[in-house]
Amino acid sequence: MQRSIAAVVILFAVAFGSYYFGYQSGLERSPVKPIEGVSNLNQGNKENIDFSLFWEAWNLVKEKYVSAETVQNKDLVNGAISGLVESLKDPNSIFFPPSDAKAFSENISGAFSGIGAEIGVKNNQIVIVSPLKSSPAERAGFRPGDIILLIDSTSTVNMGVDEAVRIIRGPLGTTVKLTVLREGWKDPKEISITRETIQIPTLDWEMKSDGIAYVHLYNFYEQAPFLFYRAALAITAQNPRGIILDLRDNPGGYLDAGINIAGWFLKPGEVVVREEFRSGDDQTYTAAGSGIFRDIPVVVLINGGSASASEIVAGALRDDRGIQTVGTKSFGKGTVQELASLKDGSLLKITIAHWLTPNGQLIDKNGITPDFEVERTEDDRLVDHDPQLDKALEIMKSKITQGKLFGIIPQ
């Protein structure tokens, strides 16, 4: 079974990375034959790589290492595979030995507590992508872009996302200390957070003045399409003149949820996103929804915490309909991972494709640049002032006024 997920990794009920889960079993494998002193070639590898150097190093470790009797062969093999994957220098490609694979699977199923923040890697640093609404991380004051320098006393230098998740998560009621540096701060700050069971918010909506529907979508997880469907029916009943779709601090979720929700705003058959593979082949995902909102003016809000599926939807609405965006540049997470189950219970998560917007823009590391760049400062947050939303409302009201003049928006 394969399922696409659009996300970075999350520190609460679900751990993601915009992952394309391709659980594979029963793969054909060559028999394992330990060979010493000769070239051990992978029969399926046309590059004819000589593995005798590996066996030479293996034998030296077994013969010379002072504590060799305490090291198990399976740990050496797992370490070698981890090194192989780490050499890709891709923070989203990870090897999980059996013990870590079990923990990762628990993360996916929501079987643990955490702090309620999505993290990722940016400029080779572990950063907060976004804290969840009403989560311990939000209450502690975390903001998108915060750099995590230490987890308890462990440095995050050269640390992968999944390792950071493993260290941060833990038993309900226990405390983790994060040392964080934020742009504009002179010195890092240590913040203690008590782990909780996280309730994942998905969607809020309300009608603003002038018939403007405001929809704040917090993620693209499993419940998002159904909750958006219910909201869409209620909004439609009120004959909206415009919609503001707020994707700020939305770290992503399931790819099919993003495609589903984009389908409310696009004509059936319009491209939502393309996956481009190493071979040069690509797979195109198109809108297949009702398109109920396809003729209604829309403005999209994004910021540095908008990642993955959020960027897919924002990019699709921009490219297909010319819908304008307001806020700050999005995170830039646009790769697809496949998760393969190996025969000993370990897992290999490896990047297999990039996401492209309908017009061919590479999302990964580039993000979506808003049409109207508007900052929301710490001072704004303290007094609950939202200049980004204010700008979106201003743009929408202008669109509604123009629509009235040309008779294309209901009075």
Query: Is there a domain that residue 411 lies in?
Result: no
Question: Which is the catalytic residue, given 308, 330, 341, 346?
Answer: 308
User: In this structure, what token pair is assigned to residue 236?
Assistant: 């439609």
Check whether residue 185 and residue 326 sit in a common domain: no
Query: Is there a domain that residue 24 lies in?
Result: yes
Which pLDDT tens digit goes with each residue over 254-293?
899 999 999 999 999 999 999 999 988 899 999 998 899 9
3-state SS of the chain: helix, strand, coil percent to 5?
Answer: 30, 25, 45
From 142, 161, 194, the end of a domain falls on 194
Check whether residue 307 and residue 329 sit in a common domain: yes
Check whether residue 309 and residue 244 sit in a common domain: yes
Which stretches in the chain have pLDDT values below 50? 1-41, 43, 109-111, 405-406, 411
Measure the CA–CA gap between 40 and 205, rounded to whole angstroms.
Answer: 61
Check whether residue 52 and residue 168 sit in a common domain: no
Which residue, 144, 346, 337, is CA-closest to 251?
144
Question: Which run of H or E residues covers position 72?
Answer: none
Asked whether 367 and 330 are in contact (CB, 8 A), the reply is yes
Check whether residue 302 and residue 388 sit in a common domain: yes
Query: Is there a domain that residue 348 lies in?
Result: no
From 194, 211, 235, the end of a domain falls on 194
Task: Give me the pLDDT at residue 271, please.
Answer: 97
Check whether residue 90 and residue 130 sit in a common domain: no
Check whether residue 156 and residue 284 sit in a common domain: no
Query: Is there a domain that residue 344 lies in?
Result: no
Q: Which amino acid is at 367?
A: G
Check whether residue 185 and residue 320 sit in a common domain: no
Check whether residue 308 and residue 174 sit in a common domain: no
Distance of CA 402 to the CA centre of its chain: 37
Which pLDDT tens digit goes with each residue over 358-408?
999 999 999 999 999 999 987 887 788 999 999 999 999 999 888 654 455
Q: Which amino acid is at 172?
A: L
Query: Is there a domain that residue 133 lies in?
Result: yes
Residues 6+ apart with CB under 8 A from 98: 344, 345, 346
CATH number at residue 220: 3.90.226.10
Query: Is there a domain that residue 61 lies in?
Result: yes
Task: Give me the pLDDT at residue 118, please.
Answer: 84
Q: Is 319 a catalytic residue?
A: yes
Measure the CA–CA gap between 306 and 325, rounded to whole angstroms.
Answer: 12
- In order of 36, 79, 274, 345, the CA distances from 72 in angstroms are 18, 11, 44, 17
Query: Is there a domain that residue 346 lies in?
Result: no
Task: Give me the pLDDT at residue 47, please.
Answer: 66
Global pTM reads: 0.73
Question: Which is the catalytic residue, given 122, 333, 391, 399?
Answer: 333
Task: Give me the pLDDT at residue 230, please.
Answer: 96
Question: Which is the catalytic residue, given 246, 319, 320, 364?
Answer: 319
- Give me the number of domains the chain comprises: 3
Q: Which domain holds residue 399?
A: 203-335+356-406
CATH number at residue 132: 2.30.42.10
Measure the CA–CA gap between 309 and 316, rounded to whole angstroms.
Answer: 10
Task: Give me the pLDDT at residue 149, please.
Answer: 96
From 80, 102, 124, the end of a domain falls on 102
Residues 6+ apart with CB under 8 A from 35: 55
Q: Is 187 a catalytic residue?
A: no
Task: Give me the pLDDT at residue 238, please.
Answer: 95
Check whether residue 211 and residue 263 sit in a common domain: yes
Measure the CA–CA gap between 64 and 146, rounded to whole angstroms.
Answer: 44
